[in-house]
Structure 1
Amino acid sequence: MGYGFGAFLVVVGLVLALAVTDSVNGIDLTMVGWIMAAVGAVLIVITAVTWNSGRRSRAVQTVTHPDGSQTVRENRTDNV
């Protein structure tokens, strides 16, 4: 999906919510428009969060000591 589909839903939803005055029996086009706009906005936010989480890298190092115990060290970096 991504930014494009989210923006499409926002635009079509706002057009339905704010500009369309026609009516369809049993369907509130204004409410459908607001729902589409909200889903599009949520999709844009989810896309931004998931794409930016891929920029982080993580390294895990496990050290085993002579007595058998282990130490785990984790390094995280944000690649900007």
Structure 2
Amino acid sequence: MGIGTGIALFVIGAILAFAVNVDLGGFVNLALIGYILMGAGVVVFLISLVLMLRRRSSVSTTRSAVDPASGEQVTRRTTDSDPLV
């Protein structure tokens, strides 16, 4: 969701900065608002990209077996994490 929001802000800002040519009487500078939205879009895009790359996935596995020598039930739990995801 953050990547899409960043791209949308950037596109809306680019439209305001480069495509809209309206004079609002000096109260609002649409080009400046467009540049601000483009900057905000880049920041949101980069933050969401960094947060997505920092996520780690982990898989927990539980195995149960009966020890043939003693007849006891043995449970083994392992957790594997992938640092690249």
Number of the residue aligned with 2:83: 78
**CA deviation after TM superposition for structure 1 residue 77, in Å:** 5.9
- In structure 1, stretches of 5+ residues that fail to align are 58-75
Identical columns (%): 34
Q: Segments of 4+ in structure 1 off by > 6 A?
A: none
AA aligned to 1:41 is V
AA aligned to 1:32 is I
Bigger Cα Rg: 2
Number of the residue aligned with 2:47: 46
Number of the residue aligned with 2:2: 2
TM-score (norm 1): 0.68
Number of the residue aligned with 2:13: 13
Count of aligned residue pairs for this structure pair: 62
Hey, what's the Cα distance between the residues in 2 that align with 1:55 and 1:23?
Answer: 49
- In structure 2, stretches of 5+ residues that fail to align are 59-80
TM-score (norm 2): 0.64
- CA RMSD, aligned part only? 1.9
